[in-house]
Chains A and B, each alone.
Chain A
Amino acid sequence: MSNQGTIGGPLLEVEDITLRFGGVTAIDGVSFHVNPGELFAIIGPNGAGKTSVFNSISQVYRPQEGDIRYKGESIMGKRPDAVARLGIARTFQNIALFGQMTVIDNILTGRHIQMHESWFAGMKWFGAAKKEEMANRARVEDIIDFLEIQAWRKYPVALLPYGIQKRVELGRALAMDPDLLLLDEPVAGMNLEETEDMARFILDIRSELGISMILVEHDMGLVMDIADRILVVDFGKPIGTGYPDEVQANPDVIAAYLGEDFSADAGSAAGF
């Protein structure tokens, strides 16, 4: 991967951001940072504001307060496509693939920022555009092989099973050659086998491609297994952060997940 920002500094710094929708405060003073190569997880109950944090990083939503810096540079106020060009890719909680396009075309669209030929060259096709298309097509085939979705590559994605769509979406994000990858509930609604496959892909992405990741996930087993550090949010507020074992032992976190009445013992018994 390219330049990892200020030497030794974090890749992403989120500083005290607050995001409101009218009367609802979706994010309320959240701060965290992600180091290069790190697999950082954000957990919290439904409606805690996890997806809103992702949308703030992609600048789909604009937090009213705070700052978000990527490789040392503030990204606040940039357009989502400009953020993408900086090297931040993501997947969506409710799959947001390009439904009528094939698997190949979806993943090729992920190559958009890595390709440069104009509409004019494209309409002419022969020459530079064709060359670029073929080179990127080869790259897309590598991703298809990596995610083991060869059999589906010519199908419009809307026709594919849910688990395969999740993989295609991961592939589309990987095609961007990102330095930071945001995964919003990558195993939601998956069975055990599919979850294990996805966990393997995530670990491979980190070890083989060295991409930093932020993972939002409700599957506690998965998060505790693979995350380096964890941030817990509840009602938009950060209530705990640290290594998996620290977070599991944090009484505020247990209270948030199980209600105020439960003790720390009950929390660990409940599967943390």
Chain B
Amino acid sequence: MAFGRPLLRTSYAEDAAILPTWSQRGALGVAGFALALAALGVPFFEAIPAFLLGGTWLTPFNTMLVFAVAALGINILVGVTGQVSLGHSFFMGVGAYAAVLLGGDGRGGAACIPFHEQLGLLENTTRCGLGLPIWIWLPASGIAAALVGILVSPAAVRVRGLYLAIVTVGLVFIGRHLGNMLPEYAGDAESGRRWPPLEFRWWRRTDDSGDAFITFDEKGAWFSWIPGTDGITLSDDQKAFFFYLFVVIVATVLAKNLMRSRTGRALQAIRDRDVAAEVMGVPEREYKRLGFALSSAYAGVGGALLAVNLARVGPPEWSLFLAVDFIAILLIGGAGTIAGTLMGTFFVRLLPKMVERFTEKNADLAEGDGPVSTIASLLLTDGSRSDFGPIATSAQATGWPLPVALWNFVIFGVLIVVFLIAEPLGLFGIWLRIRNYWKGWPFSY
């Protein structure tokens, strides 16, 4: 290990390492540690995300972690294999449905229970689920989505480019339709259904009492069963954070390993030059199918966790908009690289929250006096005629001035166009440039 010369590698293994330099390992370790401390509510560390995202920052952050899992999947298909799919939300839905069929309500092993009894609903609603534990439904959600991916792949591997995009859009609509037709499984379009909670138990839930050995959705201590301790008291968001973070790390390492091994290179070869890849001995269709299956498996796990994270969802969740979000993540972050995918997820999921938060803050500021308040009140408008700022304070506003949610749309649309034109490698490309600049500093060439 060459400490003095960080770029001198002495073995091929070192050269192929995920984080080849000690400075990278160190930086990531420190960042991870700081994040964990922040999640645990340690004052100094907590202050930074709380400033950017507000006091309940862990909630959007958890959703972002779940998105990251699915985003790593779309990267395998679109970024690595080069097959543009708009069907990612369909496969996320498949994973979520698999999770709810296996893990959803179904106490005492009843496959389908009349649900109105529990909720006091008037209409006769039935919900089906086997009530199996997470260690079954989570892997199964990935496997189910992968199998469906393989099922549709004969159609998908024969078309490319725009045609593939159209075929996969079709999947989203088929999925929505099937979901609407089967409310016992998918939940109905308006109110959805409850997804299994994050909790670990050995086998089926037998009653409502806590036979789980780790629950995520109830306040209380973890590990209190260890004799002589009270356990550690964590909120449900904090518990979920550590679980999601673990899943993201595993998903990232697996994806990175794929990229640096034989299969990942074959997929990239198909993306870059499909005919040349075949002539090198890579069976194109088989590998496209594999890319589809692996991407769908990630989508399935991500979809199941997203539904669990939202607690109550219905078929409209798995929409084309969701699929487009993932394309935006890739375009902004940088398709084809793991780091870019993660950066893109962070950006697409959390930046809108920051914008929202700062407009809220501005609304407060605009009440007061002084230069800051003047700027804030110039930007914001409550809709009255004399007020002409570009941002509406009311979310229901239509037309100009635009509400924050629409500004987010506009900002992302513009960003995607800018990235497509100026920086095809996305945020990752910008990062590479900055890094290379400092590596060579003070000689920029």
Contacts and interface: CB of A to CB of B under 8 A. Distances in A.
A binds B: yes
A105 B268 contact: yes
Interface residues of B, number: 33
User: For the complex, would chain A's binding face be called helix, strand, loop or mixed by DSSP majority?
Assistant: helix
Which of B255, B271, B283 has the most C-beta atoms of chain A within 10 angstroms of its own C-beta?
Answer: B283
A118 B16 CA distance: 18
Contacts of A96: 273, 275-276
Given A92-B276, A96-B273, A119-B258, A105 B281 contact: no
Interface in A100-120: 100-101, 105, 108-113, 115, 117-119
B260 to A, nearest CB: 7
A109 B290 CA distance: 17
Interface in B1-40: 12-13, 15-16
Contact of B268 (A79, A101, A119): A101
Nearest to A92: B276
Contacts of A90: 279
A109 B277 contact: yes
Contact of B272 (A81, A85, A100, A125): A100
Interface in A161-180: 172, 176
Interface string B216-260: 000000000000000000000000000000000000001101101
Nearest to B270: A98
A84 B12 contact: no
Nearest to A121: B261
B278 interface: yes
Contacts of A60: 275, 278-279
Nearest to A117: B262
Nearest to B258: A123
Interface stretch (A9-17, A126-134, A198-206): A126-134
Contacts of B268: 98, 100-101, 105, 109
B269 interface: yes
A138 B11 CA distance: 10
B167 interface: no
Given A81-B282, A81-B284, A125-B257, A101 B276 contact: no
Contacts of B12: 133-134, 137-138, 141
Q: Of residues A80, A83, A113, which shows the largest number of chain B Cβ atoms within 10 Å of its Cβ?
A: A80
B275 A122 contact: no
A119 B260 contact: no
A117 B281 contact: no
Contact of B262 (A84, A89, A129): A129
Interface residues of A, number: 43
B279 A80 contact: yes
Given A101-B269, A134-B12, A125 B261 contact: yes
A254 interface: no
A120 to B, nearest CB: 9
Contacts of B261: 117, 119, 121-123, 125, 129, 133
A58 interface: yes
B294 interface: yes
B276 A84 contact: no
Contacts of A92: 276
6 contacts: A90-B279, A92-B276, A109-B265, A125-B261, A134-B16, A137-B15
Given A83-B279, A113-B280, A123-B258, 20 more contacts: A79-B278, A80-B278, A81-B278, A84-B279, A89-B279, A89-B280, A92-B276, A97-B276, A98-B276, A101-B268, A101-B272, A109-B268, A117-B261, A119-B294, A123-B254, A123-B255, A125-B257, A132-B262, A141-B12, A176-B280
Interface of A: 58, 60, 79-81, 83-85, 89-90, 92, 96-101, 105, 108-113, 115, 117-119, 121-125, 129-130, 132-134, 137-138, 141, 172, 176
